[in-house]
């Protein structure tokens, strides 16, 4: 099993824009050192099925095709962690157990990043609460998937400088057909009222959970679409589970169940309270710091 972790080589002010695949030309599938396929911008070579993964689609929804900025950068890492769980569930590797996640088939999927998450879940042994998993140290997934999209030819880096000092990376785009196709699925589910497939329902649930509503459907005219986007959560149990977990982490609710059961009269927290700080590490910064977090991807 191969686990891949991508770390940025230097601090940059970065903008990511979508890059089209030329007509009739798709990049060849890359492989990691153990031969796992890692590039599938059109959905090739992942478990023999023609589709992109949910984390990829969620990130493509987050990218602004004009400015290259990433919507809701504070919560996007949480959403990507949740998207990994849904993708693993759709692949039959994990299953919900109440508010917990249980590994039911630990064999690799062939996607290195998903397999890393699957292996970490397997090592836990017992089922883990979705809110604890998503709220744990999952930060860095955005950069991991951005680097993956660059390797796949879906974004193209152009180096530069801001004020002649701060290194910048801008990603030029000439077409946004892939992201438009993804959003069209959400539009169809919202406007037709027809229950969407589980993948689209989960994508809608995650998009709502991380706060993409105003990014996808801005202004007063988008109010009804934002409301319907929220309502799509009920169409996929796994998507609903992880979406509520993402929102709970953002609201700081991950640690609450560990504090409330403490018996009256006990001053010190019980043994079950020790893991409580884990979810706190994934809780995004307060809104007043949003401008600082957003600058990392501008």
Residue 192 in domain? yes
CB 17 within 8 A of CB 59: no
Residue 259 in domain? no
pLDDT of residue 171: 57
Structural domain for 135, as ranges: 13-254
Residue 298 in domain? no
pTM score above 0.75: no
Residue 75 in domain? yes
Residue 296 in domain? no
pLDDT tier, 225 (very low <50, low <70, confident <90, very high otherwise): very high
Q: Which one is predicted more confidently, 128 or 290? A: 128
C-alpha dihedral (190, 181, 174, 64), degrees to nearest 10: 40
Query: In the chain, how many domains are there?
Result: 1
Residue 94 pairs with which residues in a beta bridge? 103
Least confident of 152-156, 181-185, 266-270: 266-270
Burial (CB count within 10 angstroms: exposed 0-12, middle 13-18, buried 19+), residue 287:
exposed
pLDDT tier, 175 (very low <50, low <70, confident <90, very high otherwise): low
DSSP-derived 3-state class of residue 131: helix
Kindly report, residue by residue over 79-119, the tens digit of the pLDDT: 999 999 999 999 999 999 999 999 999 999 999 999 999 99
Locate the DSSP E strands across the chain: 13-14, 94-97, 100-103, 128-129, 157-162, 166-171
Residue 104 belongs to a domain with what CATH number? 1.10.3630.10
Instruction: Please state, rounded to an integer, the average pLDDT across all residues of the chain.
Output: 74
**pLDDT at residue 60 above 70?**
yes
Residue 278 in domain? no
pLDDT of residue 97: 94
Residue 188 in domain? yes
Q: How far apart are CA 240 and CA 231, in angstroms?
A: 10
In percent, the amount of the chain with pLDDT more than 90 equals: 43
**pLDDT at residue 38 above 90?**
no
Q: What mean pLDDT is predicted for residues 48-57?
A: 74
Pairing state between β 128-129 and 100-103: antiparallel
The highest-confidence range among 107-121, 245-259, 272-286, by mean pLDDT, is: 107-121
Residue 96 in domain? yes
Q: Which residues contact 187 (CB under 8 A, 6 or more apart)?
A: 225
pLDDT tier, 256 (very low <50, low <70, confident <90, very high otherwise): low
**pLDDT at residue 270 above 70?**
no
Measured between alpha carbons, how far is residue 212 from residues 14, 117, 152, 255, 277 in Å? 20, 24, 24, 25, 27
């Amino acid at each position: 099993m191969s686990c891949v972790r991508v770390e940025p080589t230097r601090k940059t002010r970065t903008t990511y824009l979508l890059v089209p695949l030329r007509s009739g030309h798709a990049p060849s599938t890359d492989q990691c050192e153990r031969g796992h396929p890692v590039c599938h911008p059109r959905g090739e070579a992942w478990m023999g099925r023609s589709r992109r993964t949910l984390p990829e689609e969620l990130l493509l929804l987050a990218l602004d095709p004009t400015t290259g900025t990433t919507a809701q950068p504070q919560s996007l890492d949480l959403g990507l962690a949740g998207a990994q769980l849904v993708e693993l569930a759709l692949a039959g590797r994990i299953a919900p157990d109440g508010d917990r996640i249980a590994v039911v088939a630990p064999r690799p999927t062939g996607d290195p990043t998903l397999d890393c998450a699957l292996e970490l879940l397997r090592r836990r042994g017992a089922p883990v609460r979705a809110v604890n998993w998503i709220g744990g140290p999952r930060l860095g997934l955005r950069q991991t998937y951005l680097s993956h999209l660059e390797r796949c030819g879906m974004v193209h880096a152009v180096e530069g400088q801001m004020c002649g000092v701060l290194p910048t990376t801008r990603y030029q785009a000439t077409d946004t057909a892939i992201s438009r196709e993804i959003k069209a699925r959400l539009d169809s589910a919202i406007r037709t009222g027809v229950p969407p497939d589980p993948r689209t329902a989960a994508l809608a649930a995650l998009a709502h959970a991380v706060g993409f509503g105003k990014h996808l459907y801005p202004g007063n005219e988008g109010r009804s679409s934002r409301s319907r986007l929220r309502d799509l959560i009920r169409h996929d149990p796994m998507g609903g589970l992880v979406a509520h977990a993402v929102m709970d982490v953002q609201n700081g609710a991950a640690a609450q169940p560990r504090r409330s059961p403490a018996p009256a009269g006990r001053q010190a927290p019980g043994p079950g309270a020790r893991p409580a700080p884990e979810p706190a590490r994934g809780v995004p910064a307060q809104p007043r710091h949003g401008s600082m977090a957003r600058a990392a991807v501008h």
